[in-house]
A and B are shown apart, each in its own frame.
Chain A
Amino acid sequence: MIDRKDLRLIGFRLGNIVLGVGLMMLVPSAVAVAYKEWAILADFAISISVSCIIYFIARKLLYTNDTMQHKHSMAVIAMGWIVGMMIAAIPLWLSGSVNSYLDACFESMSGWTTTGLTLVPDIDHLSYSMNIWRDIMQFVGGCGIVIFTIAFLVRSGKGEVKMYLAEGRDERIYPNMRTTSRIIIGISLLYLLIGTILLSLVGWYEGLPFENAVYDAVCYTMAAFSTGGFVPHSQSMLFYHSTLFEVASVIIMVIGAFNFALHFAVLSGDRKEIYRNVEILTLTMTVVVLTIVTTSWLIHYNVYSGSVVLFRKGFYQLISAHTTAGLSTIYPLQMSKEWPSLPEFAITIAMLLGACACSTGGGFKALRVAITAKLFSREIKKTIYPRNAVIIEKYHHLTDTLLRDDYARGVLLVIIGYIVLFTLGTIITMLYDYNIVDSMFESSSAVANAGLSSGITSPSMPALLKVTYIFLMWAGRLEIMSVFTMVGILYVGMRKLKRRYSL
């Protein structure tokens, strides 16, 4: 049951998250100073002040030493992402980068959840600091807002473990949450550095001025590693017209789609893990199958010819969808106008399957796909083998693990939850007269936090559709269960209020 003490605890923790989001804005503020964007600096100053004031008020009124329980963690996470969205939207809205506060909320939710769908009408003229802010949202969102809060703002304890797990992460690298958080941030920063150097060199080689090459490299690395998709050019990857740049970005996207626990194992010396891990094997298998489907259909319908063209247009969209990065080498309209339905559908499936568990990516996650496949295999074996045969399914994910019924049930529940959300999104999109393939594509992009678009997402799309996609991005990122818990808490709270005032 929820009482006033619970609400106090939840409110206090939300205050911490608000402060965290506010402090993150110091980075784009510094960029605004560097590029002399004084008008934007004022917007960030207001936003930082608002978040600090909210924090101080929350601390003053709601300070508590109570330990977090499971229900609190779920509620803090679910509400924290909404509060984070609302605070992060303030500078976007104040600067006039988007048309309305709703659009700003859409943009910030798309950033935090590493989706990459955008409602900015003129990206090519967006300020440098605002571009960096969008990318920081992705980068932090890829690691998890709570990870950053745990790493820098709160003491590690039982409650933080639950918050970490509630944020859609199944695995802990270390028993201590603060250490785990710092390892995740450390790995992200390492690849941010490597990616920035790589893309800077490629960009410079391909004719960009050095300053632009470095700036673009930072933005694109954050977008690719966090499997986000916010970039400073409206053409996404097509801006560079460069095979090298695309190849480099694929490397970063795929690395970003790996499990942080796998990163840690490999970086700690266990390099064989990358060839044995069930997630990597599943990811490889699904990428190969879907690439065959996509490219063969594209060539069959004469959409593209030549292996380089198929790689840069067919495979690139597919890998971008599968890692849920959302970078693109074609225009959104091209997919709906030129591509046959099957490759578009294959990309929809790739987005839904998504990246690895405990990564920056979204979707069902490769681990869940593998477990579901193992479950099917076990059930088929049960029907084939004698009744008294003991059938054991094992998989290798960091260690050899037995397939347990309770874990498999949880996995299936999450997948069913995703499918329900995806169907809901598709139906609501179709209500606005969009065709079924495009509707499926767009809602899978939102729910799996991929960010590819068939052209539906635009500043002029209906407000209800914007709200629907905000909900899908949020629920998809938190892997549904936190959302159900929050709905449950709200329902119980409403019932208590009703009973109290005899409504």
Chain B
Amino acid sequence: MANESACLVLVFLCVTALACSAQTNETDAPAEVINLVGSIELINQSLYYDNRLVAYRGEVVGPVMMRGDYAWINVHDGGYAIGLWCPKGDAKWVKVSGDYNKRGDVVEVSGVFNRACLEHGGDLDIHCISLTVLEAGKDVPHPVNERKKMTAIVLGLVVLVLFFERIIWGYKATEASIRSPIWKIFFRIRKNILPGVIAEIAFTICLMTIALVVCVVVVFIAGVLR
């Protein structure tokens, strides 16, 4: 019984001591508050944040680059992209990197910010402690604008017409000098058929105009006579 009591007291004392020591640690060295900081602030206030624990959030842009047991991930938060030096295991969580066709994974990291990292040749970077993928990346569709498509087709046709116009007008003076039958057809179209069609249409338009003028005059004279 006495032994049991002694054991209980001993356990109680140990637990109390541990609790006290834990409490002391908490008061002596409080866990650093990790602030979510943007890239512009990090670069603007780089001296302040140097070697501090920060949290940073943004989209992964460009491919993840594996370097031994670590990897470089560049993360853009809308201001600038900052390089994250992550353990290979963390980097493997990143599945989609942002480019023209994709929006990359949105990640949040906590880590130590370095203004001029001595380990990495003076780069401004963050050495990751933890990495969380907040939002998975996705494809970004870029549908072709219908108006642009039509404009391209119409302008392309105009260029084709001008090209053939230049070929026919510029180099082939007489039909006899053209050997290719296809060019002969083009030449005839340009030399005879096209001007002929234009002339006939122009004649018809003139005729209609004259008729219209005649009608107007007739109506006018009739009005006067009445």
> Could you tell me which A residues sit within 8 Å of B by CB distance?
35, 37-40, 42-43, 45-46, 48-50, 52-53, 56-57, 59-60, 94, 124-128, 206-209, 212, 233-235, 238-241, 243, 303-306, 308-313, 329-331, 333-334, 337-338
Contact A208 B72 (CB under 8 A): no
Q: Which partner residue on chain A sits nearest B166 by CB separation?
A: A56
Contact A124 B76 (CB under 8 A): yes
Q: How many residues of B contact A (CB 8 A)?
A: 49
Q: How far apart are A286's CB and chain B's nearest CB, in angstroms?
A: 24
Q: How far apart are B51's CB and chain A's nearest CB, in angstroms?
A: 14
Q: Is the interface of A mostly helix, strand, loop or mixed?
A: helix
Q: Is the interface of B mostly helix, strand, loop or mixed?
A: mixed
With A37-B100, A45-B155, A45-B156 known, 19 other A-B pairs at CB within 8 A are A46-B148, A57-B162, A94-B148, A124-B76, A128-B100, A206-B65, A209-B63, A212-B62, A233-B74, A233-B81, A239-B74, A239-B83, A241-B120, A303-B116, A304-B122, A309-B121, A309-B122, A331-B124, A333-B43
The interface residues of chain B lying within 8 Å CB-to-CB of A303 are 116
Known: A39-B142, A53-B162. A124 touches B61 (CB 8 A): yes
Q: Is B36 in contact with chain A by the CB < 8 A criterion?
A: no
CA distance A42 to B149 in the complex (A): 6
Q: How far apart are B190's CB and chain A's nearest CB, in angstroms?
A: 14
Q: Which partner residue on chain B sits nearest A211 by CB separation?
A: B63
The interface residues of chain A lying within 8 Å CB-to-CB of B159 are 48-49, 52-53, 56
Q: How far apart are A90's CB and chain B's nearest CB, in angstroms?
A: 11
Contact A126 B100 (CB under 8 A): yes
CA distance A49 to B121 in the complex (A): 48
Q: How far apart are A153's CB and chain B's nearest CB, in angstroms?
A: 14
List which B125-163 residues lie within 8 A (CB) of chain A: 125, 140, 142-145, 148-149, 151-152, 155-156, 158-159, 162-163
The interface residues of chain B lying within 8 Å CB-to-CB of A309 are 116, 118, 121-122
Contact B145 A42 (CB under 8 A): yes
The interface residues of chain B lying within 8 Å CB-to-CB of A46 are 148, 151-152, 155
Q: Is B57 in contact with chain A by the CB < 8 A criterion?
A: no
Q: Is B211 in contact with chain A by the CB < 8 A criterion?
A: no
Contact B122 A337 (CB under 8 A): no
Which of A233, A308, A337 has a CB less than 8 Å from the CB of B43? A337
CA distance A212 to B158 in the complex (A): 38
0 or 1 for each of B14-45: is its CB under 8 Å from A? (1 = yes)? 00000000000000000000000000100110
CA distance A240 to B165 in the complex (A): 52
Contact A238 B121 (CB under 8 A): no
